[in-house]
Amino acid sequence: MDRRKVAVTVLIVAACLAAVPFALPRFYVYLMALIVTTGLLATSLNFALGFGGIYQLHHAVFYGVGAYGAAVSITKLGVNPWLAFIIGPLVSVVLSVVMGLICVRLSKLYFGMLQISLGSLVWAVVYRWYGFTGGDDGIHGIPIPEIVASPEGSYYFAMIVAAASVWVMYRIYKAPFGSTLQGIRDNPVRCQAIGVNVMRHQLAAMVIAGFFAGVAGVMFVVVDNSVFPDMMFWTLSMEITIMALLGGWFTMLGPMLGAAIMVALRTFVAAYTDYWTLALGIVCMLVILFLPDGILGYVSSKKRASG
């Protein structure tokens, strides 16, 4: 019976989302696609940080590299856009492996600080390499396939890719690897003592998270037709960390909710005042004080307590 209710709920939500381009103006269609894109980025961070306990403090660099991988492949190398959409996440995977091998020997804050340093180095290269990446101007007017070039096409592309990506991460989370990863998060010393290769699992989690961050970067290319260096600046990494915190660290859909809150605050509150970050700070303070597990984390704990 519960599965039937879940299936019906999923179908209703899917039908509502499919109807968005027909019911809302183009700006809101674009905004929904941007929320889903940013939400997938926050969900990929949550896979490493929330479920794995890995201090991924510069996760945005994988997002930016994935976007630039696709954009540069199309505009500079003349690669077919569909092939470029695959190249983007693979470039993020390569960077994840390289940075992971360097950082994984450290733990917690030391891991995060080293990753911020390496990520900032990548950002500096992209920011200054005018001949290849466009420098601080970025790359604009990226040609993409006609089927996803319209606001409606890019919206459906973002929704389908995000849904498939979240489902894959959920299956990994529910697999033995996911259980082992959570055990490492809770007690890495004990896991090491019983024979678990902690560093190998953490590296694998980084690569998975980096891959889906690269997928989110490709989604942004489709939705916005542009890339720019700020996509991999460390401040964006802090923003997506706040998204995961708001929605719920230990939930799969919490970061998506956090992304919706952040994008809505930035869009609508910023239209009336330059101090929209004050509203964000108040929301974060209330969540930390009264909902330390995030919004969906609180809902989940209440359901477990009542069930």
Rg, C-alpha atoms of the chain = 19
pLDDT of residue 125: 94
Those residues with Cβ within 8 angstroms of residue 269's Cβ, 6 or more apart along the chain or in another chain: 276, 279
For residues 8 and 134, give the distance between their C-alpha atoms in angstroms, rounded to a whole number. 47
Residue 139 dihedral angles phi and psi, to the nearest 5°: -130, 125
Residue 226 dihedral angles phi and psi, to the nearest 5°: -155, 160
Question: In b/e form, how buried is each residue of 153-189, taking b as 16+ CB within 10 angstroms?
Answer: bbbbbbbebbeebbeebeebbeeeebebbbbbbeebe
For residues 215 and 219, give the distance between their C-alpha atoms in angstroms, rounded to a whole number. 6
Neighbours of 135 (CB within 10 A): 15
For the chain, the structural domain boundaries read 24-306
Alpha-carbon distances, residue 231 vs 66, 68, 222, 286 (angstroms): 10, 9, 15, 28
Closest C-alpha among 233, 231, 256 to residue 70? 231
pLDDT of residue 1: 45
- The two three-digit tokens of residue 29, written as one number: 């269609």
Q: Fill in the DSSP letter of residue 228.
A: -
Neighbours of 33 (CB within 10 A): 27
> What would the DSSP string read from start to end of 83-148?
HHHHHHHHHHHHHHHHHHHHHTTS-HHHHHHHHHHHHHHHHHHHHH-HHHH-GGG-EES----GGG
Q: Provide the CB-side half-sphere exposure for 244 (13 A, CA).
A: 25
Alpha-carbon distances, residue 181 vs 171, 178, 185, 290, 292 (angstroms): 13, 5, 6, 28, 22
Question: In b/e form, how buried is each residue of 62-71, taking b as 16+ CB within 10 angstroms?
Answer: bbbbbbbbbb
**Would you write out the chain's pLDDT as a tens digit for each of its 307 residues?**
467 777 787 788 888 888 989 888 999 999 999 999 999 999 999 999 989 999 999 999 999 999 999 999 999 999 999 999 999 999 999 999 999 999 988 878 889 999 999 999 999 999 999 989 999 999 999 999 999 999 999 999 999 999 999 999 999 999 999 999 999 999 999 999 999 999 999 999 999 999 999 999 999 999 999 999 999 998 899 999 999 989 988 888 899 999 999 998 888 887 787 777 788 888 888 888 888 888 888 888 777 776 5
Q: Which fold has domain 24-306?
A: ABC transporter involved in vitamin B12 uptake, BtuC (1.10.3470)
pTM of the model: 0.94
Q: Reduce the DSSP state of residue 260 to 3 states and report it.
A: helix
pLDDT of residue 307: 59
